[in-house]
Amino acid sequence: MRYIDAHIHIWTDDFARYPLAEGYRQAEMNPPTFTPEALFRHTQPSGVDRIVLIQMSYYQFDNSYMLDALRRWPETFRGIALADWNSERPDQAMKGLASQGVRGFRIYPTGPSASDWLDGEGFAKMFRCGAEENLAICPLIGPEALPALSRQCEKFPDTPVIIDHLARTGASGPISEGDISALCALAKHPQVKVKVSAFYALGEKKPPHLDLDPLIRRVLEAFGPRRLMWASDAPLQMLNETYEDSISLIRDRQDFLSPEDKDWLLRKTAERFFFG
C-alpha cells in the first residue's frame, strides 16, 4: 500500500527568487531549508508517495514556492494555499490558485478573541467560494475557536472544512474531556474532516505517542474513518523525532484501528478529496 501525507511544509533558502514575507527573518527558519528533494528522503522509505503541501508562514500570501513545486511534481503534490481574507476579493484569489493544483486554503485567528474570529465578509466570501468550487477551508485553531467554526459551518453547510492537527487538542496542556467533546461536536457537520496529525505537539509530545490513543479513538468514533486523514506536519515534526514516529502510530501501533480504518486514514480520505 502507498500512503498520502496530508500536511507537509516546504521552503528554500533561495531568497532572491522566493523572498520572505515582511516580519520574517532567516534566523527563524528551522531547519534552514526543506525542499521537495529533502522531504522525499523521509517520505519514500515510509511508503508515502503523494503529499499535500501547506503554504509556509514564512511566505505569507506569496504562494510561489509551493506553486512551483506543484508544477514540477503534478502527480505527487496538491496544495493548501493562503489567501488574504482581509482583501476585497479573497474568493477570486482562491479560484485562481485552484487552477494551479491548490485544493484548500488555510485560515487562522489573528485577533484576541476566539469567539468572533470568523466574523467579517472576507471569511464569508471564502466559505461561500469553498462550497461553490469544492475547495476546503483548513482552520489552524485550538479548541477555544471551535464554537465559532461550528457557527460558520451552520451558515455554510456545503463548504468542505478540514481541521488541522486534531484542533491542537493537548497542545497547551493536558488533554481535557471538554476539549475532546468540543472537537467531536463538529462531527454533526457532514462536510467537516479532521487531520490526525502533529503528534509531536500534542499530549506528552514524545514518541511513541500512545498517550494520544484515547483522543484518536474518540475522534474516530465521532467522525468515522472516512472523514479523518493522517498527516505528519514535517519537517517541524522531525525536529526531535523521526518521520516514522508519526506514520507508525497509525500504521502499526493503534490496535483499535481496523485494516480498513488505516486505509482511510493513511490514504483514501486524502486521496478522494485532494487527488480525486
Write out residues in the chain with pLDDT < 70, as ranges: 1
- In terms of DSSP bridges, do strands 77-81 and 136-139 run parallel, antiparallel, or are they unpaired? unpaired
Give the per-residue pLDDT at 112: 77
pLDDT of 148 reads 97
Residues 6+ apart with CB under 8 A from 141: 108, 109, 114, 149, 163, 164, 167, 168
Instruction: State residue 114's pLDDT score.
Output: 84
Confidence (pLDDT) at 115: 87
Give residue 185's pLDDT: 98
Query: CA-CA distance, 98 to 216, in Å (whole number)?
Result: 31
Phi and psi angles of residue 85, each rounded to the nearest 5 degrees, phi first? -70, -10
- What is the pTM (predicted TM-score) of this model? 0.97
User: How is the chain split into domains, by residue range?
Assistant: 3-275
Q: Is 193:183 a contact under the CB 8 Å cutoff?
A: no
Assign 105 to helix, strand or coil.
Answer: strand
Query: Which residue shows C-alpha cell 479513538?
Result: 217
* Closest by Cα among 129, 107, 130, 105 to 119: 107
Cα 117 to Cα 58, 120, 175, 226, distances in angstroms = 22, 8, 23, 28
The amino acid at 222: A
3-state secondary structure (DSSP) of residue 47: coil
Q: Give, in words, the CATH class of 3-275.
A: alpha beta
Phi-psi region of 118 (alpha: psi -120 to 50; beta: other; left: phi over 0): alpha
Would you give the DSSP letter of residue 234?
Answer: B
